[in-house]
Each structure stands twice: as structure tokens, then as C-alpha cells.
Chain A
Amino acid sequence: KAGVTQTPRYLIKTRGQQVTLSCSPISGHRSVSWYQQTPGQGLQFLFEYFSETQRNKGNFPGRFSGRQFSNSRSEMNVSTLELGDSALYLCASSLGHAGLSSYEQYFGPGTRLTVT
């Protein structure tokens, strides 16, 4: 079974631009979560989607947004990029939300975003 895939793997953007990152979960998984990883702040939760609905949101400004499609694929968007948005963005998928029996999360390889 194919794992979580994220595209693109690497991105270089300029301050003020916007960017869209994509995540395809493991087949059959309905929950997708996004995390930001930086050397200074570590791993921080961005948002979580289940069946196209945002279930939870982390403490990030409104420039960060996301969505999930009917096939469970998810995208996140960052508008008006700042230098501090440079990070590894990780997507994780699981079978369902914590109310169901399976909630182990499986991570993709990440998208490395560099803002110049």
C-alpha cells in the first residue's frame, strides 16, 4: 500500500507570494493533519481534517488555511509569505478521528519551503 505522498518536495518562494502544498493520504484514510517543523519551534500542529471538515486548528495566523477534498486529499495554503514561514511542512494521515479505533498517524516525507 502506498504511503502518504506530498507535493512538491521542495519549494522556493519570495516574501509576499502565496503557496499551495498538496497531500495525498494512504488509501482508505479519511483524516489528514498538517504540521510545521522548524529548528526554533519544533513540530507544531496546523490543522486537522476529517471527511472534508476541519476538526481542529492550531495557533497560526489566518494566512495559513487548508481544505480537504471528497477523495480525502488535502491542500494547505499560505498567503503573503514571510521569512519565518520557511519550514518543513508535514502531512499525516490516519483511518479516522480519535473517536474511532484507529488513530495512528502516518507521515509523509514533507515539503521543504524556503522563503527568500
Chain B
Amino acid sequence: GNSVTQMEGPVTLSEEAFLTINCTYTATGYPSLFWYVQYPGEGLQLLLKATKADDKGSNKGFEATYRKETTSFHLEKGSVQVSDSAVYFCALSSRGGGATNKLIFGTGTLLAVQP
């Protein structure tokens, strides 16, 4: 079945460091890929998305490229801030085989940015 694998956290970085959070997926068909962010005590916010191979999603300095050949969608940011501290979830939505919005999530990666 479809699944998402994320790197284990927590990831602890100093402010202005480079961030990479790895995400790989297994899916039939041609899934859409997403990164969501969850701040303490809140719901999930859509950070960025990509709907086909080689698409690059970007938002607020974060980027991720849909790599079909490596089934990956790694999240990157060139210079993190303390305000980026949160849990990041990689997710996929498979459009093959019927109409559904069902999201399959990775386990989440806690990012802690220190000043």
C-alpha cells in the first residue's frame, strides 16, 4: 500500500543554518505530495505541495522537489529561524483508482531552532 517515510527527529539547528528533512514515499499511480507544519497546540498548516514529477513547491523560504526517480520529496530551507520550530509532516494523496482526498502522513519530524 501507499506509505510515507520521514527522517527521525528531533532535528536541532542553530539559527541561519541550512535545513533538510528527508521524505520518501511508496505509491501506486501518480500521487500528489505535500508538506504540512504543525505549531504547538495548533492544527496542520499546508506549507507547500507538488502535483507531478519535477514540480518544485515553495513557500516562506521552504522548497521541495518531486523526484519520481528516487520517490523523494525532501524539504529544504537555506536559513532557518527560531520561528520555524515546529513539527513537519510529509504527506501524499493518491489520485489513482478513484476520487479521494485521503492523505497519508509520515511520522513527523520535530525541528528545534536555537538562537
Contact = CB atoms under 8 A, between A and B. Distances in A.
Interface of A: 4, 31, 33, 35, 42-43, 45, 48, 50, 55-56, 58, 90, 92, 94, 97-99, 103-110
A42 B108 contact: yes
Contact of A98 (B49, B100, B104, B108): B100
Given A33-B101, A43-B89, A56-B102, A104 B108 contact: no
A103 B93 contact: yes
A4 B45 CA distance: 11
If over half of A's interface residues share one DSSP class (helix, strand or loop), that class is named, otherwise mixed; here it is strand
Interface size class of B (residues with CB under 8 A): 20 to 34
Nearest to A47: B102
19 contacts: A42-B105, A43-B108, A45-B102, A45-B103, A45-B104, A48-B101, A48-B102, A50-B99, A55-B101, A56-B101, A92-B101, A97-B100, A103-B32, A103-B93, A104-B46, A104-B49, A107-B36, A107-B44, A110-B42
B48 to A, nearest CB: 11
Given A98-B93, A109-B42, A110-B43, A48 B49 contact: no
